[in-house]
A and B are shown apart, each in its own frame.
Chain A
Amino acid sequence: MDRGGGSARVHPDDRGVPAEVQLRLRVNGVPRELWLDPRVTLLDALRERLGLTGTKKGCDQGACGACTVLADGRRVLSCLMLAATCEGRDITTIEGLGQDGGLHPVQRAFIACDAFQCGFCTPGQILSAVALLAEGRAGSDDQIREFMSGNICRCGAYPNIVAAIRMAAGDPGRAPV
């Protein structure tokens, strides 16, 4: 989708409540149009306005990676993006990863490798892993660890997350830990 949109200007009313801003974007392939307070983050817009609660709010300050989504194919943190700035962008969340009713290969690898425990960080881990593979950064365990460092797992499932990514990368000799 083009970054169209043109210019826009909205300002708070007499009580200091900001006027809503129009936002048109594509979420998981579906065109969406929203009117929202310009203070709303992409994360909150996805969860509270579009009902896509697969994207998780962990730290809400850009440190944990639980809110990772793809914007125009690149992984980003939805908690640090104001939704209003996503005009014309193409967003992919965990709900949009599966193909033809089945799971995405990275989702299947996470299950096969038992790459999670509580599961809260998992949607962010998976979106980040999908991007990592697209970036060509699954060359070694060390490289995977380095380029997954923006996704924290408090359960400590890291060894199996690395194994899942190696499996999804097509490393057949790699058994789950």
Chain B
Amino acid sequence: MPAGSTYSTIATTTTTGLQSTVTFTGISGIYTDLILVGAFATAAASSLNLTMGNGAIDSGSNYSWTYLRGSDGTANSSRGSNDTRIFSGETNTANLQTNIIIQFQNYSNTTTFKTSISRFNHTTKTAQATVGLWRSTSAIDRIRVSAPSDFSIGSTFTLYGIASA
């Protein structure tokens, strides 16, 4: 049984001004899985969107998603197909602490499409679990989270890598 750096921090960023995207690039393929943890707020009501790519963020309609969520007192589910992003959550209150954890299993293989699963929590609006698909067999070497209404100052995102035996 190996000991050591199974669960490692790859990179962390903290926003110092209003910005609509945070992008991790140059992600090496040495890990088995990736986990992105966000503790953030948005400057106004906003969606939280996920995109990824290899060499460049894929802005095409190559994503789809299905969510299960409790929102405004009701459990519901919806999906998007042939979308330009994975819709991963939604805020309705400015500067309210929000979190998301996104799991990317087997992100660097070049055979399968990439499926992500996530949990999102924004206490005045939504608790959401989402499965997303990027229809590409390319390895993921960059990940972007975006909030069209901007992330608030002090939002943090940390990318971890998990290496299996």
A and B found bound together: no
A contact residues vs B (CB 8 Å cutoff):
none
B contact residues vs A (CB 8 Å cutoff):
none
